[in-house]
Amino acid sequence: MTQQREFPNWNNLYQERQVETMPWYNLDLDADLEQALTKLQINSGTVLDLGTGPGTQAIALAKKGFRVTGTDISEAAIIQAESKAQAEGLDIIFKQDDIFNSNLNQEFDFVFDRGCFHVFHPDLRQDYVRIVHNLIQPTGYLFLKCFSHLETREEGPYRFTPEEIRKIFGDRFNVVSIKETVYQGTVNPLPKALFSILERI
Ligand SMILES: C[S@@+](CC[C@H](N)C(=O)[O-])C[C@H]1O[C@@H](n2cnc3c(N)ncnc32)[C@H](O)[C@@H]1O
């Protein structure tokens, strides 16, 4: 049976703690996403950074020329991300939005989820797949980074095997690849992660 995991109140967390101290804080574009974009020759288009948090990934994508929307359930996170983007002169749409009660009504060329899906209770996973599928244009991609079953620390988000990812997403996405990798951030050693390339059917 999957162990039930606990998460903070996200808005309180972003009000109380400096984003730079958060385990997932990573100024650079996620290395696995960067490789995937190069391999698939994707260098323009619209992107949703889902669960954008500190906004580092949205900002890195905007610097590469993508038209970026960043959403997060935490308004405090969105306010901070927006002010960082403005300070860098970047035109990014940041919106407070709960993915399970979303006001997004656009199809993106791709969605990047770095650490959002793996905080959701297992009962919500099929809702997540359906909602995110509707936010991606046909043949667009979901790039998903989540914790791997190989990560042995007790605390933290849900973990996944490649087989579980195939089972959860396989009806609505073509599973292009799933690789064992790490979750870049402020934790030493870096947590073990899976990076999946999922093409919308
Ligand atoms: C592990 S953090 C990752 C943040 C960011 N993607 C990064 O890599 O720096 C997970 C994020 O998901 C957000 N989140 C949690 N539940 C959410 C929901 N229902 N809808 C949108 N965002 C959510 C949290 O506020 C948090 O910022």
Residue 88 lies in a domain: yes
Distance, in Å, from the CA atom of 179 to the CA atom of 160, rounded to the nearest integer, reads 12
User: What is the pLDDT confidence band of residue 43, given thresholds at 50, 70 and 90?
Assistant: very high
- Does some domain include residue 7? no
Query: Does residue 32 form part of some domain?
Result: no
Q: Rounded to whole angstroms, how far apart are CA atoms 150 and 136? A: 29
Using alpha carbons, list the distances in angstroms from residue 164 to 2, 120, 148: 12, 14, 10
Query: Which residue CA neighbors atom 10 of ligand 1 most closely?
Result: 116
58-97 pLDDT tens trace? 999 999 999 999 999 999 999 999 999 999 999 999 999 9
Per residue in 107-149, pLDDT (tens digit) is: 999 999 999 999 999 999 999 999 999 999 998 999 999 999 9
Counted domains in the chain? 1
Distance CA 5, CA 30 (A): 25
Q: Which residues lie below 8 Å from residue 6, measured CB to CB, with a gap of 6+?
A: none
Q: Is 116 part of a structural domain of the chain?
A: yes
Assess contact for 192 and 118: CB atoms under 8 A. no
CATH number at residue 158: 3.40.50.150
Average pLDDT, integer, range 150-155: 93
Nearest CA to ligand 1 atom 27: 53
Give a yes or no: residue 59 inside a domain. yes
State which amino acid sits at residue 28. D
Does any ligand 1 atom lie closer than 6 A to the CB of residue 28?
no
Q: CA 106 → CA 60, 82, 161, distances in Å?
A: 21, 20, 31
What's the 6 CA to ligand 1 centre distance in angstroms?
Answer: 14
Share of the chain above pLDDT 90, in %: 96
Alpha carbon of 40 to ligand 1 centroid (Å): 26
Considering only CA atoms, which residue is closest to atom 19 of ligand 1?
Answer: 98
φ, ψ at 144 (rounded to 5°) = -120, 125
Return the C-alpha torsion angle 40, 41, 46, 48, nearest 10. 40
* The predicted structure's pLDDT at residue 164: 98
The one-character DSSP state at 29 is P
**Mean of the per-residue pLDDT values of the chain:** 97
Range of the domain at 130: 47-200
Tell me whether residue 67 is in a domain.
Answer: yes
Domain presence at residue 93 = yes
Instruction: Give the position, in ligand 1's atom list, of the atom nearest the Cα of 13.
Output: 25
In a domain, 163, yes or no: yes
114 CB near ligand 1 (under 6 Å):
yes
As a whole number, mean pLDDT of residues 174-185 equals 98
Task: Name beta bridge partners: 49.
Answer: 70, 112
pLDDT value for 3? 78
One-letter amino acid at 90 equals L
pLDDT of residue 104: 98
Question: Tokens 């610097």 — which residue?
Answer: 63
At residue 2, does pLDDT exceed 90? no
Q: So what's the pLDDT on residue 1? A: 57
Question: Across residues 47-63, what is the average pLDDT?
Answer: 98
Q: Give, using CA atoms, the residue closest to atom 20 of ligand 1.
A: 98
How high is the pLDDT of residue 4? 83
Cα 124 from chain centre: 16
* Ligand 1 in reach of 73 Cβ (< 6 A): yes
What is the Cα gyration radius of the chain? Answer: 16
